[in-house]
Structure 1
Amino acid sequence: MTSRPTRLASVDTGVFQRIAEIMGFLHEDRRIFFNNFFGNEEWSEKAFHYVQENDTLYTFCYIPAYCWIICTVLSMCFRAQPTITDQLMTSLPKTVTQLFVTFVSNILANHSQNTDGAHTARELLTSMGWMAEHGVMNHMIVFDERHLESFSVRNDKHLFSSFLMESGQPPDVDYTFLHLTLQEFFAALVHFIDYNADRLQETLDEAESYKDGRAEIFLRFLCGFSDSSTRSMLKSLMWEDCLLRLPDMSSPGSRRKYRTKT
């Protein structure tokens, strides 16, 4: 069993006969991971140097799963350009929110080549986002067919398998997001795709009522979306009517109200 520290605090570890604590990637472990992931000395060196200069991303690399996400996003950026230039390096994501925006937008860019295109993508992201938010608020990371049906999530599209994993055999099939943080990202993103001021306020009030940390990353993503530089990145991922209605949670008053950081 793996768990975030905030969740582990409420678990009775006395029921386990043996406990092993995995400390995560130290500096040299991270370098080895980057070298193995890219298999290209120039790419791995530039990627590792870039991440090392960004305290937030470098700290995230302590967790192997985040290491994979960061390397995946950077490799997407590198492949999009014939040569790695200084201009490309300065345009790379600098925050965790921007990292996930880049990750999702690259997947959507490939998906848009299909005939059903943007409308299907928006429809799936919306339904998947509301299911993700339901999971975040209810400490749920495993979903089944009933949840997909309840939130109108269609699993017959190629885009679905880009974000959710399927396990088990019919009729007992379970679905999980590639990573809990990706679920929290979609839970926040849906409030911008399908924005409603009253619903957002209700969700924020509910998130604030939980004292076990379940909504902390979700709230950080919400504020991260309000950053002006992140807004410009959203243009390739969002739709113009959504961008015009985005709430501004980056003001000092909003930060005090929601007691979270961008």
Structure 2
Amino acid sequence: MAPQSPASYKPADPRLTARTATGQLVNKCVPKRLWNSVRTLTTKDGKHLSTLILGKGTNVVYFGHQYGGQICNFLDLAEEMAARGYRVILPEFRGYVASEAADTSSPLDMRAAFDELKLLPARHVFLAGASCGGTTAVVEGVRSGIPVVGLMLLSSPARCDGDAVSAVKNIEQPSLFMVAHEDMQGRHEKQLREVYEASPAKEKQFVVVDGEAHGTLMLHGDDAADARRTKVIDFMAHTYVAALRK
């Protein structure tokens, strides 16, 4: 990627924000070895998003973190997919750590990310998101017209800054839905199942795990979580392999 001039803005949490050698703001949770991959996206309403773009090529994985989360929630999966030969885009939403201090508006933030994908350009895009970051990934992914190759949602509500139930009806590609049984006393399972049942995908899985872990927390902490993390990575990779064979 060509060098980018740094943007001037106030990060949401200056204490947890660093500045790269090229002047981009980045969450301190991101290892310095990845700082050359930091970009700043600008939304239609003029807000700035600290964003990681890893890997190369036109086969892309998009990760949308959950509300209350941060860019590193998906960083391990992002690095794994980049190592497997995919390009990965991982924005930090406004109001979170190194992105601009502002009220949350993930739809506008995702539009900036998907506009960036069109410039790369992206031949195929796998959409992945946690909680509301997944809901809006479905809604804005469909709205943007990007070439979706697969979908993965973790604990995503049916409606959050958009209606995932209506939007998912436009995604026929392989889809994985995962939620913890006791998350919000079962309410997240009920809502995600509504999205699952609306999905027209012939290849789709609904995975319910024990406990109440939310979003990416289901993928870390013990052997069972490690197995789920492996399942998620394999699903994304296998979905891409199958799609590229067609």
Q: Based on CA coordinates, which of the two structures has the bigger radius of gyration?
A: 1
What is the TM-score normalised by the length of structure 1?
0.24
Higher-helix-fraction structure = 1
Higher-strand-fraction structure = 2
